[in-house]
Chains A and B, each alone.
Chain A
């Protein structure tokens, strides 16, 4: 995002917050228009359930309206929106049965004593195109992301999927920049490994026919 774009976004946000704090009802629609898709997409990616994501989106919008006077502008308004969305999603997730997390370490790369790669690494990066938008691939990707531990998943969704900057993610999650980077790196390693299994199998099948 360009600097001017960022500045404009910031100004739009600030004006909106002022309107909302002044009780201007039109600001309701503008807030919804600007943020409901982001709120819905993030909560859907965290919970993988349409009804839950709808509930959370409503709840978040309501919180924005009701708590607007507690927003002090110490962080960006959008960071505040993301934080409320995450909290609401986690509350919802906690109220449901939780599937046991698998350990991320099992899926990190392994090395021999000298620090060299131990497994055979196939380069499937050129062959994903034809597969990308099939339902099966989408399912595999959704499942892999779903298996990420919570801490890594949220960083991955905000930074790599939503495309926010490392600084912004660190503000939203109240993490240091190195912590954001290391979680994101671990998330990518984990997902790479998960997806490798799928694409390698596909490539070897293609080779046979």
Chain B
């Protein structure tokens, strides 16, 4: 159905977790590696703590910025149940990188719904290739809990055929110079965690 040589990546999480930056880094890494790239992001209403996804596609020539369901090479989730919510995007042989972080939605706190207690089991059943990463711990180890997005990205990079230099260059061109070191450390910790 889709051009064979287009690689698709999906990032999922909760608005405010740094998905936009993560998606920019993937796109720039692909660009530095010489590929055509398209991304898609969510702005506006959904950014206020709702479920959000970002999509990145690269290859010799990319048409649609939207990832067709069932085709992503890698799905990265910054919050664990968001991986389940968007699992249909992943290709059957794709890599799922899931943060162990749980963010309880207000629908749960106000008693309208409940947060599943068997998340690890669900993830294991859904994803044959699963990397369950303690992203907030690793981010703290890197020096800033807000870099969990880069930890997940580092882990995801193992499932994408982009050279290490392209990733480094992408991080350098996407984050502010004063936050560069901590972001690079977070990325490296994630990359080694898989």
Bound pair (A, B): no
